[in-house]
Structure 1
């Protein structure tokens, strides 16, 4: 009887030991993620631990080598026998094909590698992406604004050498909100594909009326010149003034709202601001909650006198509850500010934003276009261009 009791007691002790070890490992993993990959939209850190017999195994994937190195160092110091099965991305099985170019006018990026997963953003034709891994025909990619998600098709994998050769070619950029490419230089010929504003293709030749272009997947087509500019002419034509931003924004008026949309086929609020600024050579972050961290602060009180056309206006859940006007705690409950919406200031208390469709509203209560819902949740406004130059934001 005593022998069975001792065995049972030792089993309980070993179980408690392994549970304590697993909890400690999970705590370390959480701390490393918080330090190196707090925003899962722009960094992959999917790591967990499990027991196999008397072995503790950590398994998963991450794009952060710094996070991986520190995680393994700390775990090996505390748990020398731990088994490392973590995979660094990009996946080594991709070889040198870790660059990619989008070959469809718009590519759909989803949260997970399946068609019924949420669409989180889009890519545009000619966009360079980083390929991280593959899974049953899906590719996990990272866009130039660092956003990470899964796409099926739409991307042509390239080696670095192949991408450099592509990059050396002259390009054209589509400047019409919608356009079409044709099989031959004749508008009556069959289409090759639809096109949207911001699409970029390699330029092969041109005549008086058409550009001959090549898609990343090798298709040849012809674009009417009035729908596009050579990349160098477009870049020279960029006018970094607020009035130019608002003029560009008005092109999209009436386009329907689409969650995750960043193209003229459908736009969400931050996708709208992103494509407008993209066409001015500025690469805004993807989401409103990221865009608000760029630029320079113009207003946070609701006094709109300092705003200029082209400034971005942010809306959402106001400052933490449980604090008084001086920010001193008055209760134990705190609610973090949440930026959930963004629009472009037009002047005279008017702003344009994607809400059901791209529309103009006002923050003036006496205006017929007054938007009380957004006026009540206004947070602040930021400026991204000053004196013809970008301010605290990346150029493309």
Structure 2
């Protein structure tokens, strides 16, 4: 079966051009890969969340700069389809997917170390037509002009590396030397000894490129739902191939690889030019954005032009201006420019300043203020909405640019207040930011606020009134009995909690008896818990942009299929998913996070670029190059990531 599997790699799906990626752990930029649709069923809801995780192997720097490789993950062609598929077909499919998973991980290792990487096939669909497909794989090699090609082929039992045979007694010396390095690293990874033999390597025969075929046994399937053993196998193989690349490129084999490549591919590839370096203190990403927004050859000539530039930034770049707040005060004086940028997310305020620096507003005196304004609000900027439904305004005056309406009982995240305390700048449960009259705001300490976020709530489905109080449909009411799932048969009234001001302005918590037929109740167990269990079953799967399967999945794909298994279909992309659910965490307060809460992360320009699922507390699971992994917000946790805590913007809870 192993040898026929390798031969069937000629039948992998065709591609029109080589796919190239240059990735970094934070940029998350890849070329789209079309993946087959995938739907994973949830595992038992009672399963506890594992606590033992490890960080995936990652590379960085430029140690592989200049190296070009092509990975050729062997495909398969089923002999029988449907329910009559043979055991051989089942094993061949598993092998083909493992081949692709190794290549997907290897892609990140190579590109993160500065190398160029190409794939001969883009997904794990069955191959169908070898006569049409093989030239497409060959074309990938010819266009990439690689230093070498590695075909990855899992088999039933073989442990060997095939290199091109010059004649019956001699192998290609460059490929053989490369194979020796690979065999050494595979042995160090625990795979045992590998035989190296000369044979037919099709991509070498047709292109002349240095090439080899790695044939290794397919690991046994792990006990469901723990996918960690298989992900460990995949990562070890990818790391061994990467280590081979590094040793060959930084050692004595580099000159031989360069000479062979020059002789084989006589026309050198065109190199791309880079942009001018950004101003001091401005990142390349922000500078590139500024140049795209400002097309003039001169700097802004007036405050009005500078404001128009930052307005364009807000409208064209920020994922949603109702969730992200940016207020800038710009002055132009004879001595230069002065700007004060205020935002609920530091990156957005800093990006606004960086844009002005890049387009030539110089000299520039800049002040960045990150909300909440603790000097005005104190140490506990939390509240709950009380009284009647109240409108949220775009400015601290009634009638100025209505944003939304806040219902009583909704948690409020305070950002600022006017000097006379008439209005508060708040962020509501739906994420909207605006100004709310202070008589609709009841202050809470952090403990009571977290309790409000964590409590199970019923939702009013029809208008209700007791004569002195009227509530509207959609009002969320914490259950007095937090263990209630559905009211018992014959029970007509359910006690819920309601917040209100006393005549002296003090906050009161009142119990209201509401008819059970007017309430909807949250599911038990929570959909978030079920989503997390599905996400954990994908732990270790390679990150593939556009992917939604265990063979390769991106960040929003992981969140989407996890909640699909819990009965909720989310929008496809992170920038769309930010609109689902209610706000439960911000960069300055994450204490109420529960399993399944969706976390959102932003780039240096303020655009939502990444998402993941909270495991409860500080840990979260997400798909980020090179694979699905677990990280933590806590500096005391070995899985702590400074990158992700800096990029975290907010979290939402999709279901009640």
Q: Which has the higher contact order (CA 8 A, sep 6+)?
A: 2
Q: Which has the larger share of strand?
A: 1
Length-normalised TM-score, structure 2: 0.29
